[in-house]
Amino acid sequence: MATKLYVGNLSYNVSEDELKEVFASKGSVISANIVTDRDSGRSRGFGFVEMEDSDAAENAITELNGSEFHGRKMVVNVAKPREERAPRGGGHHSGFNPNRRF
């Protein structure tokens, strides 16, 4: 069964191919992606790697968590399921509250 890993504290210069290569040394990698800022396109310093099986994922966590990569100590653990977020409001809200006491 595939296991998704969170990889944090990444250098902003790390590419997805480099990330995939590091994890491939620990087992079969399905995908690797780095989360980027929506506006600038710049790395946010973390990403996700999906490993083909849980044994490879556990091995990657054990061997890579805390290891140095591009001058930074990576944080590697099992990714938490994505939480549903409330929709972002696009409407106008003045912040006026008629019931507020001054």
Q: What is the pLDDT of residues 23-65, one digit of tens each?
A: 999 999 999 999 999 999 999 999 999 999 999 999 999 999 9
pTM of the model: 0.79
Overall average pLDDT of the 6-15 stretch: 97
Residue 90 has pLDDT above 60, yes or no: no
**pLDDT above 90 coverage of the chain, percent:** 77
Gap between the Cα atoms of 54 and 16, Å rounded: 21
- The residue ranges of every structural domain in the chain are 3-78
* Residues 6+ positions from 50 with CB-CB distance below 8 Å: 2, 3, 4, 5, 29, 30, 31, 32
User: Which residue reads 């491939």 in tokens?
Assistant: 24
Architecture in CATH of 3-78:
2-Layer Sandwich (3.30)
pLDDT score for 53:
94
